[in-house]
Amino acid sequence: MGRRILFLGPPGGGKGTQAKMVRRALGVPHVSTGDMLREAMASGSDLGRQAETYVSVGDLVPDELVVALVEERLAREDAAGGYLLDGFPRNLPQAEALAEVLGDEALDTIVYLDVDEEEIIARLLKRAELEGRADDNEETIRHRLEVFHGETEPLIAYYGDRVRRVDGTGSVEDIYCRIALELAS
């Protein structure tokens, strides 16, 4: 069994960017629920239509939909040698569901990308301009941050001393080096 990594952090904290770099380095699949939901929405599938009402306003998609999506993804052959989870679990019930399905072995390293609020808002507004993601407008950004504080942040306490806190500010390369050090230790 290869590495089983979780990236935790606020929206706009750089999880996706860093996850793609780590995936290239380690050769494990990058499992991003945000990407999977955006794909489902783009394809117009049932799941996509259900997800859209939540994603467009920055709410979390119901746990049962997301848990089923991840369960199916992690059961595929390419995830047998490890994976990098990005954006899941995002609340306590999802973390409990993951532990139930895969046990304590589900994760070997939890990286928390620490970025302060002002920087996050600035980054997300910039991404809104560059990528035109529908959920990157100021109102939705503020709501996603509230959801992060209310629902996702408690996972830091839930995972306790298994969490490696990494300074998520600075250049993409600097942040990557900090993560690589944590993954090596």
Q: Which two tokens stand for residue 23?
A: 């995936």
15 has catalytic annotation? yes
For 164, list phi and psi in degrees, rounded to 5: -100, 115
Q: Name the residue whose CB lies closest to ligand AMP.
A: 34
Q: Which two tokens stand for residue 183?
A: 């993954």
Nearer Cβ to ligand AMP (61/111): 61
Catalytic site residue from 3, 127, 142, 164: 127
Nearer Cβ to ligand AMP (3/127): 127
How far apart CA 71 and CA 73 sit, in angstroms, is 5
Note the residues at the interface with ligand AMP (CB under 6 A). Answer: 11, 33-34, 37, 54-55, 58-61, 66, 87-88, 90, 94, 135, 144
- Residue 94 CB, shortest distance to ligand AMP, in Å, is 6
- Residue 66 CB, shortest distance to ligand AMP, in Å, is 4
- Residue 77 CB, shortest distance to ligand AMP, in Å, is 23
Catalytic site residue from 23, 38, 73, 90: 90
Instruction: Kindly give, in sequence order, each residue whose CB lies less than 8 Å from that of residue 183, ignoring residues fewer than 6 positions away.
Output: 3, 5, 22, 26, 109, 111
Contact 165, 159 (CB under 8 A): no
How far apart CA 103 and CA 75 sit, in angstroms, is 14
Q: Which residues are catalytic?
A: 15, 90, 127, 133, 144
